[in-house]
Every structure is written in C-alpha cells, then in structure tokens.
Amino acid sequence: MVKKIAKAVGVDMGEEDPAEQKSLSTLEEKYSQQMRQIFPVKIDLPWLTLRTQIEEQIELRPDFQRRDRWNDSKRSRFIESVVMNVPVPPVFLGEEEYGKYVVLDGRQRLTAAYKFLTDELTLEGLQIWKELNGLTFSEIKKKGFAATIERRFLSAILLTHESSPEVKYEVFDRLNTGGIIAEQMEVRNAIFPGPFNQLLHSLSEDEGFRRLWGIPSSKDSAALEKNVLYRQMDDLELVLRFFALRPGTLSGMRFKDRLSDVMNIKNSDYKKNDKLAALDSELFKRAIANCITVFGDDAFKPNKNPNKKSNRSAPYADAVMQAFADHDNVVFTPVVIAKLKKIFTELVTTNRAFMDAVGKGTNGESAIKNRIRLAKEAVNSVLPAPIVKQKKVLLRRKKAAE
C-alpha cells in the first residue's frame, strides 16, 4: 500500500528483492528463529469508565498519532455508531509496562471517545440521531440519555508486556495485509516510542529535508495535511532510512526488520547517552545541506531528462545522502560541484551496476551495498578524506606521539 501511494506522488520508496531472502537450513533453526511468543488478550473497555482508563492507563500520544486525523464530523459519526450499537473494529493496545498501555491501532476512535466524554466534542452532522446535533456529553447526560452510551463496550485486543516489540510489529504488519489500514511506519511510530523516535519527528520538519522531498512547510498546515508523504508518515521512514543504512548493509536482516531494529537500538542508546541525539542530528542535517549545495532541489531525482517525469527516488537518496554525510560543506567549491554533477550523471546513465542498484530489488542487501559503495567511491574520488576518516587519522597520530 505505502509503495503504491508514494509512487502516485512521484516517490520511489524502494522494493524488496525476493532473491535476497535467505532460506534456513533446518526446520529447527526456523522454529527457534521465528516462533517467538505472542501474548494477546481480548478485553472490553466499558464506556462508563473509558475516560478514567484513558487518563490513567492508556497513552494516546496525541503528538505522535496518525496524521490523517479525524475531524469533528468523523468523530461525531463514530459516537453515533456507538449510540446505534453498530459493531466497530477493535482497538489494539500494547502493554509497555504492567497496567500501562500504548495505542497501536484505533487511536482515532479512542481520541474521539475521550474528546466526547470530556466535552471537547460537540456532535455535528448526525443523520440518524439528528436530535443530538449541537450537544456535548454533559448536555446529553442532563437529558437523561447518557446511559445509552455508558452501557456500551469498546472491544480491544491487548498485546501484553511479555510480547516483544519485534513481535508486536510483525503482528500489525500481518493485520495490515488482512485489511486493517496501518502503514508500516505508523506501526513503528506506535511500537517504538522514545528519544530516537522523537528525533525522527524533529528531523522530518527540517526545511531542507522537506524541500528535497516536496513536502510543504509547517506554516502551510492545509497543504501539509494533504501531502501523502506527510500524512502516511513516509517522511519519518525516509529519515529513518538514513540512519538504518549508515553501515551500508542490512546486517543480515530484511529491510523492514532492519528499520525496526535500528529504532529499538537507538532508543535504548539515546537513553544511555543523551549526547548521541545531537550528533545524529548534526550528521543528518549536514548530509541534507551538502545534497542541496551540490544538486539543489533535484538532489534525489536520478532522472534529469526534462522530457520525462523526474521522480524522487528513496534508493537514490540513500546513496547520495550516505556519500555526502561525512564531508564538511566548505569543500564543495564550484569546481568540485561541477565534477560531482558530471560523475553522478555518469552513474545514473552509464554505470549498469549503479543503475540496477537504484532500480531493481532496491531494498535488498546487494543493491544497498552496491549503490552506497559506488556513490561513496564517486564522491571520494573528487574530495579529500571525509571528516570521520580525518578524525581517526588525527587520533592515531596523537596516540603515536604519546
């Protein structure tokens, strides 16, 4: 789903390479690797106590909810369905710690319920129960009609604390294929909360990043809400890709598993060392600034033919970002920029290995290794040693002098 939507707005997010999926040698090995424990519990949330449960137990995380938010008309229609006792899909909760839950799917329904029960929602646009239009929950209560709602239950499925984050992701990935609309990054966003996830949100608002991906500024909220990359949280995945592919390899994982693994690891690392976030932020912003310096708004567009649709490409962006990230911006002189433009034009038009790496099975291990390696070699053939390598050399010299 996410790939189809992204391509509809001219962004190639990459694709898995079936040939890269490694087969396990024995059934026992496969069992030990994949048969991880899942602990689901079916529960009913009574509307009578739902407000208290949300305030004390269920973390809605309004700042990190899906971006295709419901308006008051949609919220009102949901409340009308509850009054009519129309069956609604269950919400899915993950137990982060005992007795404390995070919403994995169904945040809009729970948010609508909470806004209604706290009188933040005035019902509107109801077609069946028109008598309730213009009323809040307290006003309905005064009319003696609240019991109609309070006697209802909201179904929920809880993945208990014993279930690992990786298992929770896999469960919701499969639910997604079964028809429940939850994009992969939306699921990661819910399952892997923490300081690294907060950094992804912050970096996705970087003006240079949004400029290169054609995402409107936060100042134009109406245009931003209409942008598919923003609404489906693909912008967060594009930032995450940069950090996940820093080593130039998937470390033996599937692409989507590597993305989840990095979120989990970096959340943990940031909690141990709060300086890491600033270093990662500097690295990402330097890569973006260098891309703009060299290529301008076309930095992530491998096809520069004016007579052909020039889509932005996430696989191509992987290569360019990683190749430029470790270089200081001052080294990009006009002469250097001209040489780099020529080299990258040759990469995307005559270098078959690079062209395949950004166009076929792009989220497979070999494609990722090839495109990042070739891009780095191209940049390093023009520029002096990257910042990271220079620092390592200076450190070795310092130690030798001592």
pLDDT, one tens digit per residue, over 330-348 is 999 999 999 999 999 999 9
Least confident of 102-116, 134-148, 262-276: 102-116
Instruction: Kindly tell me if the per-residue pLDDT of 54 is higher than 70.
Output: yes
Q: List all residues 6 or more positions away from 217 whose beta carbon is below 8 Å from its beta carbon.
A: 207, 210, 224
Domain ranges of the chain: 1-33+209-402, 37-163
Statement: 37-163 belongs to CATH 3.90.1530: yes
Distance CA 315, CA 340 (A): 18
The DSSP secondary structure of 65-128, one letter per residue, reads S-SS---HHHHHHHHHHHHTT---PPEEEEEEETTEEEEEE-HHHHHHHHHHHTT-------SS
Least confident of 20-34, 149-163, 297-311, 322-336: 20-34
Check residue 106 and give its pLDDT.
85
Check residue 397 and give its pLDDT.
47
Half-sphere exposure of 133 (CA within 13 A, CB side): 9
Check residue 294 and give its pLDDT.
96
pLDDT digits (tens, 9 = 90+) for 367-380: 999 999 999 999 99
pLDDT digits (tens, 9 = 90+) for 67-125: 657 889 999 999 999 999 999 889 988 887 788 888 877 888 999 999 999 999 999 99
Average pLDDT over residues 233-254: 94
CA dist 184 to 53, 132, 310, 318, Å? 27, 37, 26, 19
Check residue 89 and give its pLDDT.
87
Q: Mean pLDDT, the chain, as a whole number?
A: 84
Position with higher pLDDT, 306 vs 109: 109
Q: How many other CB atoms are found less than 10 A from the CB of residue 359?
A: 18
pLDDT band at 231 (very low <50, low <70, confident <90, very high): confident
Check residue 70 and give its pLDDT.
85
Q: What is the DSSP letter of 21?
A: P
Instruction: Kindly tell me if the per-residue pLDDT of 20 is higher than 70.
Output: no
